[in-house]
């Protein structure tokens, strides 16, 4: 049960939720409440278990700082110079952060629209406290913005005997329930919650639509460059089984709980070594499970009645492969990779035709981008009967040879081009593009309508570049050969 907000003071606003009073911070007409627990710390006896309720607090709780991050290691090598990492020590990692207009309670009696942000990071990195995820721009535009942390890596996505599947997803569901139950205390409307995520976060958002219990709590979804697949436990469990052998413990709850989180991380680094997507680096994925994920995120997207905004970036692969690595890909490596990805000869030929001026590495990169991210987004748009809006982010940054790479759109969506996190990927990016892209996302969150024709009507996607327009699906024939 939530309670009415307490008195508001200019610098230190207060509100009361079901577990106690919060003291936040106010700046520029936006109130923020950070590091608010939505579930108990998942350590000790709660390690490798489903999230449990928070113990209430008696005294007002300071909510002016972000909470701890889920245990993780920085991105390695080249990616570590491009994507920011964050490490805030502590066990109280299952926390939410809220940004709301200071006058939210007086704006709308029923409450303002809400968006719940789920960060990405390949299911083993990232955190809500990254500067680029600051929710001020959304609150400024009349949206109550919430972000959450969830368990990552071995703690959140192991497949072990005696451990519920998809614990990281279970955390996100618990966070969504918390938003639904508590958001009125911040001026939000629990009937107008849009869930939004990028990369692994986009996959988790699609997974929310695949579960009846979480789907019913959402009014809409935004999936940015999110994989929509899930594996059976036999396949997804291979990573955990190998990790157990390296640790010298059984692949069970007791075995992994006997190992400190930092030791799990060290052995995970040894497991990956210097491998990449091309050389078979084992990756955490979602697992099909009757209790926690009964159908794939793709099936969840297809059947959901909520409006969906979905898309990808043209050159997602440029984040994972440096230009020199792409140039070094020869015929044998190209052939092995396409076989591993189960890409047909017809699709390979179509992509070579569309990218005649590109080397094998660039063609392979486009195949990987479209097989893992762009293709599933278009496939979902084609198969949904509910309102669906498709986009492709095509603006290219010259920095690090990234082009229109994975995660580049984040600085534009959050209208945060001036943050250090955004500048790690692009300098001198066009503010006009950020203005429009952010406005489109806000419009969708508020109305369920992105502001351009639905995919089912126009069969077109919104292209975000220096010039923004609605166009037929780019390279549609080649994409069709890949998806068939």
Query: Is 119 designated active site?
Result: no
Task: Take residue 53 and report the two structure tokens written for it.
Answer: 């309720």
- Compute the distance between CA of residue 184 and CA of residue 116 in angstroms, rounded to an integer: 14
Task: Take residue 158 and report the two structure tokens written for it.
Answer: 């192991």
Contact status, residue 50 vs residue 135, Cβ threshold 8 Å: no
Q: Determine the straight-line distance between the first and last CA of the chain, rounded to whole angstroms.
A: 49
Query: In this structure, how many other beta carbons lie within 10 angstroms of the beta carbon of residue 146?
Result: 32
CB burial class (10 A; 0-12, 13-18, 19+) of residue 469? exposed
Report the DSSP pairing between strands 20-23 and 14-17: antiparallel
N residues, the chain:
484
Phi, psi of 62 (to 5 degrees): -70, 120
Catalytic residue among 124, 406, 409, 438: 406
Catalytic residue among 102, 199, 203, 240: 199
Q: What is the DSSP letter of 252?
A: B
- Compute the distance between CA of residue 116 and CA of residue 150 in angstroms, rounded to an integer: 13
Contact status, residue 462 vs residue 390, Cβ threshold 8 Å: yes
E-only strand ranges, 14-162: 14-17, 20-23, 25-27, 30-37, 61-62, 95-101, 112-118, 144-148
Reduced to 3 states (helix: H, G, I; strand: E, B; else coil), residue 221 is strand
**Residues 70-106, buried b or exposed e (16+ Cβ, 10 A)?**
bbbbebeeebeebbbbbeeeebbbbbbbbbbbbebbe
**Residues 382-406, buried b or exposed e (16+ Cβ, 10 A)?**
eebebbbbbbbbbbbbebbebbbbb
Strand partners for 454 = none
The counts of H helices and E strands in the chain are 21, 14
- How distant, in Å, are the alpha carbons of 157, 191, 262, 287 from that of 163? 10, 33, 19, 13
- Compute the distance between CA of residue 278 and CA of residue 276 in angstroms, rounded to an integer: 5
Query: Is 9 designated active site?
Result: no
Query: Is 199 designated active site?
Result: yes
Catalytic residue among 170, 198, 316, 392: 316
Which residues have a catalytic role annotated? 199, 316, 406
């Amino acid at each position: 049960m939530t309670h009415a907000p307490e008195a508001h003071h200019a610098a230190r606003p207060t509100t009361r939720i079901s577990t106690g009073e919060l003291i936040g911070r106010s700046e520029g007409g936006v109130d923020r409440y950070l590091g608010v627990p939505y579930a108990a710390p998942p350590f000790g006896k709660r390690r490798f278990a489903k999230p449990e309720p928070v113990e209430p607090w008696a005294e007002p709780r300071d909510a002016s700082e972000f909470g701890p991050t889920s245990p993780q290691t920085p991105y390695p090598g080249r990616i570590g110079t491009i994507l920011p990492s964050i490490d805030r020590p502590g066990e109280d990692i299952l926390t939410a952060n809220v940004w709301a207009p200071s006058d939210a309670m007086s704006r709308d009696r029923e409450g303002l629209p809400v968006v719940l942000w789920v960060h990405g990071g390949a299911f083993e990195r990232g955190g809500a406290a990254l500067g680029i995820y600051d929710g001020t721009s959304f609150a400024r535009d009349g949206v109550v913005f919430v972000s959450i942390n969830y368990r990552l890596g071995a703690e959140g996505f192991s497949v072990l005997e005696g451990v519920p599947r998809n614990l990281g997803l279970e955390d996100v569901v618990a966070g969504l329930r918390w938003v639904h139950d508590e958001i009125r205390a911040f001026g939000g409307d629990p009937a107008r919650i849009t869930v939004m995520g990028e990369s692994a976060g986009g996959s988790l958002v699609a997974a929310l639509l695949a579960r009846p219990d979480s789907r019913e709590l959402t009014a809409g979804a935004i999936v940015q460059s999110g994989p929509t697949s899930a594996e059976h436990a036999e396949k997804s469990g291979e990573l955990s089984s190998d990790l157990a052998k390296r640790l010298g413990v059984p692949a069970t709850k007791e075995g992994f709980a006997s190992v400190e989180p930092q030791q799990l991380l060290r052995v995970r680094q040894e497991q990956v070594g210097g491998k990449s997507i091309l050389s078979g680096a084992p990756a955490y994925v979602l697992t099909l499970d009757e209790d926690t994920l009964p159908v794939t995120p793709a099936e969840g997207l297809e059947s959901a009645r909520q409006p969906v905004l979905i898309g990808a970036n043209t050159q997602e692969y440029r984040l994972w492969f440096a230009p020199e690595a792409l140039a070094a890909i020869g015929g044998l490596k190209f052939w092995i990779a396409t076989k591993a990805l189960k890409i047909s000869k017809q699709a390979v030929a179509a992509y070579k035709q569309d990218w005649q001026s590109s080397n094998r590495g660039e063609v392979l990169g486009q195949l990987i981008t479209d097989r893992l991210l762009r293709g599933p987004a278009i496939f979902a748009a084609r198969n949904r009967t509910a309102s669906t809006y498709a986009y492709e982010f095509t603006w290219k940054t010259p920095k690090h040879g990234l082009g229109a790479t994975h995660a580049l759109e984040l600085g534009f969506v959050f209208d945060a081009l001036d943050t250090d996190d955004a500048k790690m990927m692009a300098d001198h990016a066009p503010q006009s593009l950020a203005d429009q892209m952010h406005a489109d996302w806000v419009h969708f969150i508020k109305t369920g309508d992105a502001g351009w024709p639905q995919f089912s009507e126009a069969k077109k996607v919104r292209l975000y570049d220096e010039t923004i327009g609605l166009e037929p699906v780019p390279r549609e024939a080649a994409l069709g050969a890949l998806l068939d």
